[in-house]
Homo-oligomer: A and B are copies of this chain.
């Protein structure tokens, strides 16, 4: 089985997506996830282009990657400096990575109009930069920017830039369709022409402006490239980069290449959704392989045939990429997964029992309202216990009130009061906070602390808000996820309401109830 190296540039090219703005911490979360998936290379950013990327490489030094190698990205040296005196090249070399990807110009139009140097000087910029980094014992991948456009305008010069990079010691030469407008037929044809001239390994890096990024990447591999650059979900500038979530399964399942471990293929859907969440983007329902609609059948004739033989309307088994089949017309989905989750939580339910039925209906209703339990298992466990009447309330709410006030001098005050009772003992407390939810959290803890001192050992560690029907404007429904943790574990809870305070309250209460339940649980 031929190995194809997967080079992920989500953290650099993907960060150019309109609407994405990663914090250093976001980038670290994504890098760790990519390492788990087992891509070969993770391009962390362009140290020297902005302070955030410098900070990322500093933080990344402390991470021990199990499967992936971290790379940094940068341009050829400036036209008026030697590589050894160029501060950006030196920042790159100092980033601590063992592999650096350098991009340079292959299209003479760019050399003339953008760099404004002679064709010869551009070749020197390429060779100087690569030689200098190689002298520092750093491996270099060379991204031939605009290669396909350049080759169409001036094939001799474009080829010369590749040979220069190869001569200077680049280990892999990546042919880029930077503007994303090259047709699949041109990609194949040009690679077949170029390949005989190049001894180094070839890679492919394409954009999606023609809606052909995945087809072009696969065609490039068929024509002889052995490294594929792309991003999770195809994030990237303009119309995006090539979507690795489609390329990896196509190469591995359909063409028999090896990109990642076979056992990891089924993690692709989860990785796609995780990166979507961290990027705070909306997952595209119809995204190939990993979208929620990718294996959803709606037409009557299709569903009829699917029941007879799933091969009839599915190009691969959805499980192969960790996705699932859905039938839209008949709301059949669900029960199996409920039984499975209940079992994980040590509830043994019968497949056609009354409790299963009741739970199934309740969950369908709640999911229709916008709840989502996949990412909030603590709320799911509470829901099962409450439905099976295995649950005793820890406190009664008599009411809460949250006030946010802004004065003319811009002072902003958030205050909450909470009234609860535990076994008829009442508490009425108040708290200020950094915002309304923070104030509410404070007041509730104050009210419960005499009864449940163990709550002082837990704290909220994450908070997410997603607007569900955003077209309803400020009256839209929101879903809130809260993560809590104590010294032993962490857990997620969920709340949904048109009122963000109420949605947060639901998740807050679940989080506290789950903690109290956890403390009282019999050892299994």
Whether the Cβ atoms of A210 and B288 lie closer than 8 Å is yes
Contact with B along A448-489 (1 / 0, CB 8 A): 000000000001111111111111111110100011000000
A299: chain B residues at CB < 8 Å are 16, 237
With a cutoff of 8 Å between Cβ atoms, the chain B residues found around residue A405 in the complex are: 399-402
Is A401's CB under 8 angstroms from B400's CB? no
Q: A17-B286, A296-B18, A332-B50 are in contact. Are A397 and B406 (CB under 8 A)?
A: yes
Decide yes or no: A474 and B460 within 8 Å by CB, A178-B313, A238-B286, A298-B16 being known contacts. yes
A212 within 8 A of B: yes
- Asked if A203 is at the interface of the complex by the 8 Å CB criterion, the answer is no
Question: Which of B280, B286, B314, B400 touches A208 (beta carbons < 8 Å)?
Answer: B286
A183 and B250 in contact (CB under 8 A), knowing A16-B332, A214-B211, A288-B211? yes
Q: Please determine whether A469 and B183 come into contact, CB atoms closer than 8 angstroms.
A: no
**Which A381-420 residues have C-beta < 8 A from chain B?**
396-408, 412, 414
Q: Is A315 an interface residue (CB 8 A)?
A: yes
B402 touches A404 (CB 8 A): yes
Report the interface size for chain A: residues with CB under 8 A from the other chain.
138
Among the interface residues A250, A284, A316, A474, which one has the most CB atoms of the partner chain B within 10 A? A474
B286 and A499 within 8 A (CB): no
In the complex, how many angstroms separate the beta carbon of A11 from the nearest chain B beta carbon?
13
Counted per complex, copies of this chain come to: 2
**Does A294 reach chain B (CB closer than 8 Å)?**
yes
Complex Cα distance A466/B279, Å? 10
Tell me whether B294 and A237 are in contact (CB under 8 A).
no
Could you tell me the distance in whole angstroms from the C-beta of A76 to the nearest C-beta in chain B?
Answer: 12
Interface presence of A264 (CB below 8 A): no
For residue A501, CB closer than 8 A to chain B, the reply is yes
Complex Cα distance, B288 from A9, in Å, reads: 20
| Chain B residues with CB under 8 A of A146 | 312
CB <8 Å contact, A438 and B475: yes
- In the complex, what residue of chain B is closest to A178 when comparing beta carbons? B313
> Please, how many angstroms separate the alpha-carbon atoms of A466 and B480 in the complex?
11
Contact among B211, B254, B433 for A243, CB-based, below 8 A: B211
Q: CB < 8 Å: which of B178, B309, B461 contacts A473?
A: B461
Q: What are 12 of the A-B contact pairs (CB < 8 Å)?
A: A16-B298, A18-B286, A18-B292, A50-B331, A179-B314, A180-B315, A214-B215, A238-B294, A406-B502, A464-B470, A474-B508, A500-B500
Not counting A438-B475, A474-B482, a sample of 7 additional A-B residue pairs whose C-beta atoms are within 8 angstroms of each other reads A109-B309, A183-B254, A211-B214, A238-B296, A399-B407, A412-B502, A500-B500
